[in-house]
Amino acid sequence: MNISACIITRNEEDNLPRCLESIKDVVDEIVIIDSGSTDRTPFIATEYNARFIRHDWEGYVAQKNFALQKATWEWVLSIDADEELSPELRGELLKLKQQSPEPVASGFEMARVVFYEGRWIRFGDWYPDRLVRLFRKSRAKFAGGAVHERLEVEGAVEPLAGELHHYTYRDLADQQARMERYSTLWAEAAHQEGRRAGWASSYTHAVARFLRAFVIKGGFKGGVLGFRIARLNAAEVYLKYQKLARLGR
């Protein structure tokens, strides 16, 4: 069971070494699709013997599908530069590689856990964020909008133990900057699809998101931090629908 790791990058010198260190003994090939890094990202890729391919940014979906086209092996591990395999998940993947014959499943899903303000967040609607990240490329493709791509897999998907560690935000300023950027991309894509929002939509959707995160998904278990995460998630939803409403005027 040979595995190609596929990663898309742009100025990921802070995250990439951690990611590559966690996968170097698990995968048989590392393919990095870069959309114009100006930092040390290319040099880091070289240090880990990765295939580094420059490709102008076309959006998350197109970029990740391009990476699949460049993968040598049928099995692909799709991982982001700000993620790493936990030791338990590494062990699971190594066991899979030793199986004979290869697994019959089309893909494997794993839980992703966010590292935020110095701790792992295992409450609220951030966890468990179960994602299919190991799959047969002949049976899968990325689809979706401008912000959140999704993987479509034909065939059975099985769970893996262990977690995918996600170092998503550097600090509050980074989180707020992403909220602004992603909410704009989402609103523009929704507007192009013909969606519209009234003046009250931003409030109702934001309240619903907060209640889902803090009450239904157990964000209250995180105390003050759980409340703050739920509030920021609600604020992003508010921005999305505010911007969509403005585009429709």
pLDDT digits (tens, 9 = 90+) for 141-175: 999 876 778 999 999 999 999 999 999 888 888 88
7, β-bridge pairs? 32
> What domain range is 149 assigned to?
3-166
Do 152 and 215 have their domain in common?
no
**What is the residue whose two structure tokens read 């509030």?**
231
1 against 147, higher pLDDT: 1
Residue 148: predicted pLDDT = 74
- Mark which of 122, 148, 166 sits at the end of a domain: 166
Do 158 and 193 have their domain in common?
no
Q: How many domains does the chain have?
A: 2
pLDDT in tens, 97-155: 998 778 899 999 999 999 998 999 999 989 989 999 999 999 999 998 767 789 999 99
**What does the alpha-carbon distance between residue 177 and residue 159 come to, in Å, rounded to a whole number?**
34
Residue 146: predicted pLDDT = 67
